[in-house]
Amino acid sequence: MAGGAASPLAPLLALVGLVLCCFAASSDAELPRLAHPAKPDGSLSLLVVGDWGRKGGYNQTDVAVQMGRIGEELDIDFVISTGDNFYDNGLTGVDDKAFEDSFTKIYTAKSLQKPWYTLLGNHDYRGDAVAQLSPALRAIDRRWICMRSFLLDAEVAQFFFVDTTPFVHSYWTNPEDHHYDWRGVAPRERYVSALLKELDAALRASPARWKFVVGHHGIRSVSIHGDTKELVDLLLPLLRSNGVDLYINGHDHCLEHISSNDSPIQFLTSGGGSKAWRGVFIPNSDKLQFFHDGQGFMSMQVREGRVEVAFYDVRGGVLHRWSSAKELHPSLSDLIVKLVGATPVGGGFFPLFSPMWGLWTSAMLVVMLHVYTIIVCTSSDHLVCCTSELPPLLQSGLPQQSSVLFQASSRLVLVRYGPNIIP
| Number of neighbouring beta carbons within 10 Å of residue 379 | 12
CA-to-CA distance for 161 and 249, rounded, in angstroms?
10
CA-to-CA distance for 153 and 246, rounded, in angstroms?
15
Q: Is 370 a catalytic residue?
A: no
CA diameter of the chain = 77
Beta strands in 61-164 (DSSP E): 78-81, 116-118, 144-146, 150-153, 157-162
For residue 153, whether the previous peptide bond is cis, meaning omega lies within 30 degrees of 0, is no
Residues 6+ apart with CB under 8 A from 261: 285, 286, 287
Question: Of residues 225, 253, 257, 292, which has the active-site annotation?
Answer: 225
User: What is the SS3 assignment for 167-217?
Assistant: HCHHHHHCCCCCCCCCCCCCCHHHHHHHHHHHHHHHHHHCCCCEEEEEECC
Q: Beta 296-303 vs 287-292: how paired, if at all?
A: unpaired
CA-to-CA distance for 77 and 57, rounded, in angstroms?
26
CA-to-CA distance for 81 and 119, rounded, in angstroms?
6
CA-to-CA distance for 291 and 281, rounded, in angstroms?
9
CA-to-CA distance for 78 and 403, rounded, in angstroms?
34
Catalytic residue positions?
225
